[in-house]
Structure formats: structure tokens, C-alpha cells
Structure 1
């Protein structure tokens, strides 16, 4: 059984290794909900995620003769980087199995610490099966990303830092994948203050732990699909479920759209680069999945290792949704000056053209017509309405995409 003493020992192991990451008030969220809402920024940890804590504590407690045989793990990316860093510090060979779709930034991060990376399977569970086979063949130590006492204790050190900073905190909001993070945080927090609420957040595309929590028995997800790859875990571990049932007060879920909104919000308003899993707790607050009630709340920003391509898609969709970008397909006559006249309308409306494509060969067109696909920078909903009204006044056929 994991206790507060194990977590305090883990904190000693992590001295001069893991950073005591910043915990700062989120002014906009605090104002919106009339509460003191804090962000614990584990995305600023050395490897970009809280996972360093548990992985390092596990290897620190591993006997020297076992370290000499090397270690193996399965990970969606953040545990892999934490373990690779820890193995490098202890001069221990590490082999990490990762899903084939793991973002390049995470794969590169693992390799940069000297670990051997094997890409295998469509999700964590398939990578996990391959890692277990490797363990049996090589007789090396398997370091589980969440179902391990030392790993859980390492993650629990986050609670010690949070409650040292804000002793009268009322709630901690934590993303849930496999459950190691929330288990460690909840054990430590409840040991220090039994009245504190610990609320978990799952992605709608990986709701196994939420369903299991409700029924008090493991219910694996039929399938897993979410932009929050760090919490995209299909199978529920019975040991973690028992801890979560005992220590966690409530579990909510957020959609990929809500997660994307939180990623963009944290980037734009707080200058934080955060991955999907790292934004889940903030998303739950933003979209009112949590009862705040004029209290002090901390959201765990668990990681920042987001793929740049994914971030670009989120920014693009966010600009369109917030009426700062307008994408149109306009039909016009294919003759000299037609495009100039269309451009003049946009100029008169003070809309900046950022991308344009001209198609005269589409089979959907009548002879003598052309399609212009155009992207505009705009200044809000009213500005976009003005542009569309002007196009109608000038007789243009168009559709928004």
C-alpha cells in the first residue's frame, strides 16, 4: 500500500533532478468563475511532462544488479522520455516501445536521451504487449508507466508541492489516462487534507476509467480515439481503479473539441504550449464540468509535448471558430480583371488575403467560369458579415468552408 511516507521518500530521490514546477494563478479563469484557479505547470518539467517524477523514482529504487540488465517500457511518449532521462542519469540501457502514431517530438525526445525506440502497434496497449514480450526474452526489468508503486509515489510528489504553495486549496483537477498521476496526487493530498476534493478528467474518446469508476469494476474502452494521446489508454488496471475508487471524489469527461479549445486558450492567454492530456483539466474548468463554488482550485497541466502539426491544426480551427479567419469559395467569370475586382471588395472591407487558389478546370463549373478558394484574416463576426454582404451586393455566388 502506498502511503504519504513513500511519497515523501520519492521527493528526496527527486531532489536536484525534477524541477519544482511553477504553480501560478490563472487570472482570466479566476475572474470568470470568481475563484482562485491555479495552474500547476508540469509542462515545464525537464522532459516536458510530470512522468519524469515516477520514472526516476522507480529506477532510483531499483537494485544495481537489475539496472545492469537494462529496463524496458511501453509509453505513448511522456513516460518514455522520463524513463529515458532517468536511465541516462543512472547509466542504464533503456528500450522503449511506443505506438506507431506517436508524435515525432516525443520520439525524438526519447532518442535524445540515448534510449532505443521501437515503434509498434496502433495504441498503448499494443505497444505494451510487445514490451512485455521483449521483457521475457531479454530478462530485463519492465517499468510500468502507471501501475507501479514507485511510479505512483513519484507522481504524488506534485501534491506536496501544490499544498506547500496553497495549503488551503479546496480542489485538484487531474487528467486520467492509466491513473498513476491521479492516484499519487490523491493519496498525498488526502493524507495531508482529507477534506480536499480530487476530480479526474478523461477524454470522451478514452472513457474506460470513468465507466469503471461508476461501476466499481474494470471496464475497458471498446476503442480509443482522442487528440489527447497521453491519456489514450484502452484497458483499465484493477490496482489503479481500486486506488481511484478509494481516493478520488468524481470523474468527468471532456471532448476533443473542448480539449482543443483549452490548448488554444492556454497558448494565447497564458503563453503555455500544452499537449492534449495537459489541457484536459483546464478544459473541464472552462466548459463547466467542475463545480467551482468560489473556492481555490488547481488544474494539473500535465505535459507540453504536443506535435507541431497537431498544434497547427488546432490554431487553424480556433481562428475560424473565433471569426478571425474566413475561408470562402467564390465563383466568378474567367476573364481579365475579374480577380482584381474581387480583390478590391476585400480591400474595401479591410480584409487581408492570406491564401488564394484559382481553379478554372473543375467539372462543376460552366464554361467561362472559375472557382477561387480564398482565406481571409478577419476581425470578428460582424466583419465577416460585412464581407459576405458586399459579395452578395456585387452578385457573387460563394460558400463558406
Structure 2
């Protein structure tokens, strides 16, 4: 199998459109991790991602008859732009079906490269269904984003370039994983020529389809997929990629949203490039690997797969970076409601720690509940020592550093608790960013349920984050999720979340 793929990679037609991107040394990261860290700069491609390689190579293999029919794909992101550019360069008609929630910047980027855009459905599955329907009706040639040998071969040229650019020993190459086309191509080439090099996949923790498949020994479909790193938000690893990955990928590492945000900052500090979350994923995995294994004085390569991020998202990424670096602790602390309490609290924290955030609202005359961010050291047990010091000073403390409700909503909901929360149930949602999404939500609720809390946040993604409180009669508590299931928005019940209990 590997020999077959290596031949296809060596013969791949990518350089009529794609660049041989540089392998940049990450000097700050290398010093910090005590290893030689290199970043493969696929963010420098003409479409700002590696996807142009696979799309162009696949189109180059088409017959004239297939080209004359025109090409089509379903995509909300980088594959769409890569295919649009490849088709324009070859003079081929291209149609891209995108979900209606696709950010306008990506829609306009595809149109600017000459492709016709059709907006259909609220999710990728609906867009894909319509694209395949058009294949049947119009005879278009479908170009898959990752589940195809020619696409895999095109992406595999990245592995070929890495070995050419760095002929010296390499300990491991870290590859972001969505559908698996990129890691399959890199693994096939690298393991055939240099089997001593580890090929390590990195996935978003809430979209880890390859990790699940490797553990099961077969492809599985995830029930839910997180959308923060939207470039790798795939529910099932591709059939063709898994044939390679199951035998030639050494391991899979998963990274949290906070860890990905920290890696975006790391890449910026070393290269001044603003990676998209899926582009920074591989560096997030590299950092976790070094921390877990203690490897040092070795060469580690990660692939920055793209830089197609919305400007609006940068605020959210910056907000979560310090948490991802473990440089900030988010705590709920009870302090006596009397003059001088805040000053005494700060004395316990100590002069060496900086308060990064402090949210407080008067609730009653006995105890104040504060939401506080404190700067901590990432390299030792500083957070644990801080919590212990507060507890020894008789401050009740709840650690909210890993609490998504607290980080996404509570920190923005100043104002404190209300005494009138009878029969309140709290749910957290992801709403598709399109007109009518809120109305659709409200139409599916029982009309006698009062909305007691509503907080919405968007950070340039296809989905907004919403926190909703419902006042529901006790005898109807058992049916609420029957109504929510009909809406088809992802949701989480948060009524027992300590952050809600303490602050709302």
C-alpha cells in the first residue's frame, strides 16, 4: 500500500497551483520546550491552506469528459477555496454547495475565485446531500475533500517536502486531523522512506474521530462534533485515509479549545502568522507530547495547515489563551460582606500574583460571591497552592478553570443572583448563525414556559453560544428535552453547574 501511495505522491500534480512552503524554525517555542521545533507553513499557500494540493491533484487526474461536465463539492471552508482556485486555473466550471451558516467571508472568497456558490441547509450533511443530488441531476464530477486516493496523494506532497527540507533526524511529525486526508498522505510517504519518524495525529478533543477509530479498530461515527476548530470538525474518519492511518499513525493526541487558543498565540509569536484553530492544532498536540514524554534535544515538526480564520474570532481566542497556557486560574470565592474584605483577599493571593479579572455584585449582607481570575505559574502546582492558601484562610473556593459555562457565559454576566428563580432550568446551546435561528428556537417551546435568562455570544464562528434559563412547572420537567430535541440544536443541561449555582 505504501509503495502505491509513494508513487502517486511523487507523480502528483500540485505545483502548477500550490507552493513548496517553507519549514520555519520556531525559535521561541524551541527554547521553551528544549527541542528543535519546526513549523510547516501551509498558511502561505495561495488559498491560505493545504487543501489546494489535494483538490488540484484530483482535478489533474480527471478525463476531459469529466472536466467538461464541471466539478462540484460540498464544503464550508478550505476545500471549497482550494477547489475553486484549481477549477479556475484549469478553466473548469465549479459549483460549491455550502451550508447557510457559512461565514460570509468564506462565501465571498469562493465566489472571488470564480466558483458558483449554492447555500443549502444548516449543516454540512444537508449541503452534501444537495451536492450529490446535483451530481445525479446535472452530471457534475464530485471532488471529495479527503476520502480519495488522489486527494490523499496531493496532501502527501507535504510529507515529501518536509523530508527534503530537513534531511537530518526527525523525532516526530505532528499532523492535524479532520477527515484524515492530510495525515494519511504524510504517513504513507514518511513511513515508507523514514519509518523511524513518528507520525502523530492531533485532533480537537470534541471532534476526535480518528482517536475513536484507532481505539475501536474500525471507523466509528461520533454522536456530536465540536465546531470551534471547524476545519477538523468531522464525525467520521475517511474510509481511504483510515486504511493508512490504522497501521502507520503512531498515536493520536487530543487538544482542548483552550490549548488550541494558546497554540494560535505561540505560532503568532514565532512567525507573526495568525493560524486558524485547526491550523494551530498540531502545535497544541506537540506541546502536550513534550509535557507527557519529557522528550528533549530532538527535532519536532508540526504542520500549520491553514490561516482562514475570521477576524471576529480573535477576541475569543485571546480570551482563552492564558487558560490554555495554564497561566490563569478562574475561581469562585466566598468572602465576608464587610469593608476591607477585598483587601484581605488580595493579601492572601500575595504580591507575586496578579488579579486578571474580578466580578462582584452585592447579594446579601453576610457573604459576597466573587468571580476572580488570578495569574499563576504554568510550570508547577501554583494553582493548587493558591487554592490551598485561600482555603486555609477560611475562604470557600470552587475551581472554575475548566468549567465551560463559567468561561463562556458567567464572566460576561455581571449583575449577580436573583431571588426569583423558582422552577428555573438552565441550558447551554449552540445556535446556527443565520436569520430565523432564534425564532425557530422559540417556536418549538411550550408557550407557558417563561424565559428567565438569555445570554448570547458569537465569536465569528458558524454557531453562536447561548445560555437560556426557563421557568418550567415541576410537572413538565420531564418533557423539556423532548421539545429541545425537535429543534436540532446542540445543547447541554447546566442547572447543576456550580458556576450557575454560585453566580446566577
Report the TM range for the smaller structure's normalisation. Answer: 0.7 to 0.9
Distance 2:42 2:192 in 1: 22
Give RMSD over aligned pairs. 3.6
When normalised by structure 2's length, the TM-score is: 0.63
SS at match of 1:308: coil
SS at match of 2:92: coil
Q: Relative to structure 1, is the Cα distance of residues 240 and 318 closer, same or farther in structure 2, using a 3 angstrom cutoff?
A: closer
Specify the alignment match of 1:196 in structure 2. Answer: 197
Specify the alignment match of 2:127 in structure 1. Answer: 127
SS at match of 2:37: strand
Distance 1:32 1:288 in 2: 14
Distance 2:244 2:285 in 1: 22
Q: Report the more deviating stretch, 30-39 or 295-304.
A: 30-39
Specify the alignment match of 1:307 in structure 2. Answer: 310
Quote the offset at 1:117 in angstroms. Answer: 1.6
Quote the offset at 1:322 in angstroms. Answer: 5.9
- Residues 19-53 of structure 1: per-residue CA shift (max 9 Å, x gap): 11111111122112221110001011110000000
Specify the alignment match of 1:389 in structure 2. Answer: none
Q: Relative to structure 1, is the Cα distance of residues 122 and 250 closer, same or farther in structure 2, using a 3 angstrom cutoff?
A: farther
**Is contact 2:152-2:241 (8 Å) kept?**
no
**Is contact 2:148-2:240 (8 Å) kept?**
no
Specify the alignment match of 2:104 in structure 1. Answer: 104
SS at match of 2:206: coil
- Residues 141-171 of structure 1: per-residue CA shift (max 9 Å, x gap): 0000001111110000001110011123221
Q: Relative to structure 1, is the Cα distance of residues 100 and 268 closer, same or farther in structure 2, using a 3 angstrom cutoff?
A: farther
Distance 1:262 1:183 in 2: 23
Q: Relative to structure 1, is the Cα distance of residues 187 and 316 closer, same or farther in structure 2, using a 3 angstrom cutoff?
A: same
**Is contact 2:135-2:141 (8 Å) kept?**
yes
- Residues 196-216 of structure 1: per-residue CA shift (max 9 Å, x gap): 110001111111221111111
The alignment status of 1:264 with 2:265, answered yes or no, reads yes
Specify the alignment match of 2:287 in structure 1. Answer: 286
Distance 2:111 2:322 in 1: 34
**Is contact 1:103-1:306 (8 Å) kept?**
no
Structure 1 regions of 5+ residues with no counterpart? 324-361, 367-377, 383-399
**Count of residues in correspondence between the two structures:** 354
SS at match of 1:97: strand
Specify the alignment match of 2:235 in structure 1. Answer: 234
Q: 1:3 aligns with which of 2, 5, 30?
A: 5
Quote the offset at 1:97 in angstroms. Answer: 1.8
Larger RCO (CA under 8 A, 6+ residues apart): 1
Distance 1:263 1:304 in 2: 10
Structure 2 regions of 5+ residues with no counterpart? 329-360, 365-373, 378-409, 412-504
Q: Relative to structure 1, is the Cα distance of residues 317 and 297 closer, same or farther in structure 2, using a 3 angstrom cutoff?
A: closer
**Is contact 1:125-1:234 (8 Å) kept?**
no
Quote the offset at 1:124 in angstroms. Answer: 3.1
SS at match of 1:101: coil
**Is contact 1:29-1:286 (8 Å) kept?**
no
Specify the alignment match of 1:30 in structure 2. Answer: 30
Quote the offset at 1:119 in angstroms. Answer: 2.8
Q: Report the more deviating stretch, 298-307 or 288-297.
A: 288-297
Q: Relative to structure 1, is the Cα distance of residues 288 and 195 closer, same or farther in structure 2, using a 3 angstrom cutoff?
A: closer
**Is contact 2:262-2:320 (8 Å) kept?**
no
Correspondences of 1:2-401 after superposition (within 5 Å): 2-10=4-12, 13-168=13-168, 169-288=170-289, 291=293, 292-318=295-321, 401=411
Distance 1:87 1:108 in 2: 16
Distance 1:25 1:78 in 2: 25
Q: Relative to structure 1, is the Cα distance of residues 254 and 317 closer, same or farther in structure 2, using a 3 angstrom cutoff?
A: closer
Distance 2:195 2:73 in 1: 34
**Is contact 1:72-1:96 (8 Å) kept?**
yes
Distance 1:130 1:216 in 2: 32
Distance 2:195 2:45 in 1: 28
SS at match of 2:135: helix
- Residues 39-97 of structure 1: per-residue CA shift (max 9 Å, x gap): 00101111000000000011111111111110011123101100000000011111112
Q: Report the more deviating stretch, 84-93 or 113-122.
A: 113-122
**Is contact 2:14-2:54 (8 Å) kept?**
no
SS at match of 2:312: helix
**Is contact 2:220-2:236 (8 Å) kept?**
yes
Quote the offset at 1:381 in angstroms. Answer: 7.4
SS at match of 1:205: helix
